[in-house]
Every structure is written in C-alpha cells, then in structure tokens.
Structure 1
C-alpha cells in the first residue's frame, strides 16, 4: 500500500494564495517529491445584503461579497521527512491549509 497526501489550500486573496503555493512547492521539490498540482478547485462566492440604515429607508441596501479561492496539491509516496516538514509548515495570515492522508491500493 502506498500513501498520498491531499493538501487543500484556501485563501480570500488569490495573489496571496499563489505566493504561498509557490513557496510550498519549492519546499517540496527540495525533497524530490512526486507532485500533482496545483489543481484549481471551484471558487466559492458568497454575497451578503444588509440595510444601510436600521430605521429609515428600507430600500437602501448595501451588498458585500466574499470570494474564497482553493487549490489542491497531491503528494505521492511521501517520506517521513516530508511528513515532518508538512506538519511544521506555517503560512501567512489568511491562508488555511487542510492535510489528508489517504492510502491507495495498487
């Protein structure tokens, strides 16, 4: 059995996300990692509408939008040093990282 690590990276700012992914891939390439990605996942858009004033003029509203960009990186056959490096990684504020280890049957 071999393992794959699925790394899902999310951020509000797309340029910050791309910068973090470049740094992340550069660190993994130092270990000669077998990578797939970054794979662009669908962006999640959320819109919020609120009243401008709570008491007067109910037709006057303001809209806000939140966009979350996501990328997926798959590391095939990670070594123990790669696993330790992945556990110790820290990213800048506004970037969220999810790690999942899956065993693959061949």
Structure 2
C-alpha cells in the first residue's frame, strides 16, 4: 500500500456564501503555487433547531422557531513544504470562518 502525507484543512462557517468565496480564493492560491490538492469536499449540513416561548405567562402554543446551520468543507493538500505552509497560515481569514488543520497519511 502506498501512503502519502497530506494536510487536512477543515473549514467551518454559518454562511455558505462566505465559505465558498474564501475556498475559491484558497484554491486559487494553491493553484498559483502548483500544489496538488483534493477537494473541496462538502460534509453534511448540521442544523440545530430551537423553540422559544413568546410569552412566559400565557398562550403556551405561541412559539418562535430558530435554526442554526453549520457548513463544513474539507481540502487535502498533498505537496506542502515549510515555506508554503507558513504562507498558507499567513492568509487572511474572515472572522466568520473557522479553520482546523491536521497532518494525515492518505492512500494514494
């Protein structure tokens, strides 16, 4: 079996538009340095729903409903040296996006 060392970037956001625009910029950056990558892979949408009573004293059937949608995407970067990794870490990230990264070994 042939393994490759890869860096897994996981992006989280509540807004799909902001997440897609940032990932397009991220992929453009990777393409400019001729980096081999795989993705973006869309992970399942997580929806949390909340019901809140409008009035605490009467009319218990009257409720407001809210939901929070969490979007998640993954990109695997296969060829990455220390200089390129520091340039990736220096990219400006919008405040509404969370990024996690980890080193993994992946089948080639």
Fold-level similarity (TM above 0.5) = yes
Structure 1: gaps (5+ residues): none
Q: Which residue of 1 aligns with 2:104?
A: 102
**Which region of structure 1 is more displaced relative to structure 2, 87-96 or 45-54?**
87-96
Q: Note the 1:1-106 alignment, pairs <5 A.
A: 2-103=4-105
| Aligned equivalents of 1:85, 1:103: Cα separation in 2 | 22
Structure 2: gaps (5+ residues): none
Query: How far does the alpha carbon of each residue in 1:22-63 deviate from its partner, in whole angstroms, 9 at most, with x for none?
Result: 001111112110010001110111100110112221111110
| Aligned equivalents of 1:72, 1:52: Cα separation in 2 | 39
| Aligned equivalents of 1:105, 1:75: Cα separation in 2 | 13
- TM-score scaled by length of structure 2: 0.88
| Aligned equivalents of 1:21, 1:27: Cα separation in 2 | 10
Equivalent residues, number: 106
**Which region of structure 1 is more displaced relative to structure 2, 81-90 or 23-32?**
81-90
RMSD over aligned CA atoms reads: 1.7
